[in-house]
Structure 1
Amino acid sequence: MSKEEIFVKLKEILVSVFELDEADITPDALLGDDLDLDSIDAIDLVVKMKEYTPEGKPTIDASIFKEVKTVQDVVDAIAKVWA
């Protein structure tokens, strides 16, 4: 799955599950400050993204969210796990 595909799926989840405005979800959007997501939301996001783990790739671990601050950080972290 490419970074662009990960971003699209991430955006879909943020809109449908967290009821965020799609226009607010940009690569440079800060998860906490701009999107008002907390650590519990991050865990929910990991659970949802695990459903899209490509076959043969490791699943996403919540620990990757300790270092992320922006939407692009999330995309990059997931892409690294699935590389």
Structure 2
Amino acid sequence: MNNVRIAHQINAILMDEFEIDEEVIEAGAPLKESLDLDSLDYVDLVVIIESNFGVKLTEHDFANMQTFQDFYDIIERKIEEKK
């Protein structure tokens, strides 16, 4: 799965599950400030990502995510590592 498909799928999840406006989601935008999710939302996001992509996200992964692009890249890397 390439980065463009991953980004599209993650963006769709964010818009559908967390009602994030499409205009907010930009590759270079700050992830945490743009999403404004609480801790329970992050738990839900982890579960949704795991079920959709088959990868596990850790607290360390989220600590390293500054932008949406970082999010896409981490998911892509984890998918590649699984192969």
Distance in 2 between residues matched to 1:71 and 1:26, nearest whole Å: 7
How far did residue 39 of structure 1 move? 4.1
Distance in 2 between residues matched to 1:78 and 1:39, nearest whole Å: 20
Residue in structure 1 matching 2:75, options 70, 73, 78 = 78
Change (3 A) 1:65 1:41: same
> Which letter does structure 2 place at the counterpart of 1:62?
T
Residue in structure 1 matching 2:62, options 58, 62, 65 = 65
Deviations 1:3-58 (A, max 9, x none): 1111001101110111011121111121222232344433321211112226xxxx
Tell me the TM-score normalized by structure 2: 0.80
Tell me the TM-score normalized by structure 1: 0.80
SS, match of residue 73 in structure 2: helix
Contact 1:3 1:75 in 2 (8 A): yes
> Which letter does structure 2 place at the counterpart of 1:71?
F
Give the unaligned 5+ runs of structure 2.
none
> Which letter does structure 1 place at the counterpart of 2:66?
K
Give the unaligned 5+ runs of structure 1.
none
Q: Give the alignment's Cα RMSD to 1 decimal.
A: 1.6
How many pairs are equivalent?
79
> Which letter does structure 1 place at the counterpart of 2:8?
V
